[in-house]
Each structure stands twice: as C-alpha cells, then as structure tokens.
Amino acid sequence: MKQIILTNCIRLDTLICMLKNLVIAEYLDNEKIVAKYLNMVSESEDPALFLRAIGHIARSKGMSLIAEKTGLGRESLYKALDEKAHPRFETIFKVLNAMGIQMTLVPKMKFRKRAKQKELCVAEKRGQYRV
C-alpha cells in the first residue's frame, strides 16, 4: 500500500514540474484565444491572476515591443506585470492598449439573469396594456 502512495506522489511531483515549466505565452497565438483567456481569468475575481494573464499575453506579443509602445522600460514592465505587484491602472491600461486589447465591462452573470427577468416582466405588462 505504501509503495502505491509513493508512486502516486512521484507522479504528482512530475506533474507539478511539468506545469511549472509550461509556458502559457506559447499558446496565445490567436486573438480569439487571447480574448477567451483574459475573459476567463477576469471571472476569477483574483487580481493577481488577472495581472499574471496580462503578463502571459505581453510575453506572447513580445515584451520589448510592448515596452516600446507603452513608453515603459522592459524591466519596469516585467516588474509591473509581476503577480505580487500593484501597478497603477494607467499602466495596465497602457499595456492593454499596446497589446490591442479593448476592455468591455458587463454585469456579472448573477446580475444579468435578474435584469433579463425584469425586462420580461415589463414586456409582459406592455402586452396587457395595448390600446
């Protein structure tokens, strides 16, 4: 029994090493993939994860190019996009613009469902009061 557990632990360690070596930026080669990735990460409500995702996208497009477009130094850009950093919104906005990403804000899913129900109720009442 102990031998099986040890084997599973080794496999888990191997998996963790593989995930640490995974370079997400290599897979962000398509604008649709980039948009889906950023939207998915933004739903997590974790600012560090969102910042890390922006860093992955910046690496996929080339940090030197993004640094040039934003007017930031490459080293400063790396520091600003570190998950432990607290960059200013102005910096994030410049980076997103340099990468060709436009943010669109929508209500969270739980709020959207309520809004649709209210619209439906209003539409039903309008149908009742036609003259």
Q: What would the CATH number be for the domain defined by 24-106? A: 1.10.260
CA angle 121, 122, 124 (to 5 degrees): 65
DSSP structural state of residue 131: -
Q: What is the mean pLDDT of residues 32-58?
A: 88
Higher pLDDT: 46 or 127? It is 46
Higher pLDDT: 78 or 122? It is 78
Q: How far apart are CA 124 and CA 127, in angstroms?
A: 5
Q: For residue range 49-94, what is the model confidence (pLDDT) as tens digits? A: 899 899 999 999 999 999 999 999 999 999 999 888 999 999 999 9
